[in-house]
Each structure stands twice: as structure tokens, then as C-alpha cells.
Amino acid sequence: MSKKEKSDKTQEQETKEIEEFFEESKDVEVNIDEENNELQECKKELEEYKDKYIRAHAEFDNMKKRLERDKSTAVSFANETFAKDLLSVIDSFESAIASMDQIEGDEAVEKIKEGVSLTYEQLKKVLKKHGVEEVANEGVFDPNFHQVVHQMDSDEHQSGEIIQVLQKGYVMKERLLRPAMVATKK
């Protein structure tokens, strides 16, 4: 074989190798593009999972705070029914004290009056310690705290003003236990 034929063969072989190399590099480029696409999809999916995680975590925190608040409220007002039941006892003490003030008597009667009054004051202090207080009854009628059971004529009061308290109202930590029963001016 002549040099030229060898050279042509070698050139053909080199050309063939170069073409094969380019074919293989196209496959590699296609694989790289596919890998990049897959990587982008994975990154997008990762971001979606991160977002879901952040939202779930925030919802969990909100639920935890809501449950703590509900628990705190439940504990604060756990004695509400008990306090409502004691209101009739306070009413009885007030009636007893009013009745006893009309009785004139000896030293023994005065000691009983004093004992009932002290017990009444002690009960009021205990209730106040636990957040139970009387509704303010001076001034203008407030439908949030008062219930009108009677309307009267009066030259000394303005319209809607409370004239007389028939039964005291009470609140427990700003929650109404019982409205005050009042008489107002027509």
C-alpha cells in the first residue's frame, strides 16, 4: 500500500473516529439536558415540600396557641357555675342583714348581727379574690349589665337612668354571671 493510500485510510479512520466522538458527545449533551431538567424538577418539588412544611408548622403553632388560650379560658372560668350558685347565698345574706337591721334587741342580737355581717363580708372578699364583683349600678342603664324589670316616673332622674336596684348583678373576670335587676325612669 502506498503512502497516499495509508494516509487516506488514516484520514478516513480519523474522520470516522471524530464523527463517532461527536455522536457520543450529542448523546452526552442530551443526557446532560435530561439531568438538568430532572434536577430542576427536583428543586421545584423540594420547594413545594418546604412550603408545605412551613405551612404545616405554622398551622401546628397556631393550633397549639389556640389550645393554650382555650385551656387558659376554661381554667379561668371553671368556677363560673359554682360562683353563680353562690350568688343566691349572697342574696340571702343581704336579706338577712336588712331584716336584722330592723330588729332592736339586746346584746345577743347585736352579736348575731355582727357575726352575719362579718360572714357576709368574708364571702364577698373570697368571691372578689376569685374575680367575682358586683356590677356598677350608678348612672345610665347599660343593657350589657342591667335588666330593666320596672320603669318608674321620677322628677329627680333623667330618662334611662337607674332609679332603684332590685337585685345586684355580678361579673366574673369581665364575664356577666347575672345581670342587675333595675328600675329605670320612663
Residue-range definition of the domain harbouring residue 166: 77-185
The verdict on pTM exceeding 0.75 is no
Which of 76, 95, 124 marks a domain boundary? 76
State the pLDDT at residue 122: 95
Indicate whether 88 and 146 sit together in one domain.
Answer: yes
Indicate whether 82 and 171 sit together in one domain.
Answer: yes
pLDDT surpasses 60 at 56: yes
For 172, residues 6+ apart whose C-beta sits below 8 A from its C-beta are 77, 79, 80, 83, 130, 131, 132, 133
38 burial via Cβ count (<10 Å: 0-12, 13-18, 19+)? exposed
Indicate whether 121 and 168 sit together in one domain.
Answer: yes
State the pLDDT at residue 100: 85
CA distance 124 to 88: 13
> What's the structural domain count of the chain?
2
Indicate whether 176 and 96 sit together in one domain.
Answer: yes
pLDDT surpasses 90 at 103: no
Own/partner contacts of 160-168, CB < 8 Å, gap of 24 or more, are 160/184, 160/185, 161/185, 162/137, 162/138, 165/137, 167/91, 168/90, 168/91, 168/94, 168/134, 168/135, 168/137
- Mean per-residue pLDDT, 137-154: 87
Closest CA to 165 of 94, 103, 105: 94
Q: What's the pLDDT band for 64 if we cut at 50, 70, 90?
A: very high
CA distance 141 to 182: 8
Indicate whether 116 and 52 sit together in one domain.
Answer: no
Share of the chain above pLDDT 90, in %: 41
Q: What's the pLDDT band for 51 if we cut at 50, 70, 90?
A: very high
Query: How far does Cα 138 stand from its chain's mean position?
Result: 32
Closest CA to 161 of 181, 177, 139: 139
Q: 171 in helix, strand or coil?
A: strand
Instruction: Scan for cell 373570697, then name that residue.
Output: 126
Q: Write down the H helix ranges in the chain.
A: 3-76, 80-101, 107-129
Cβ distance 171 to 165 under 8 Å? no
State the pLDDT at residue 107: 84
- Mean per-residue pLDDT, 124-149: 89
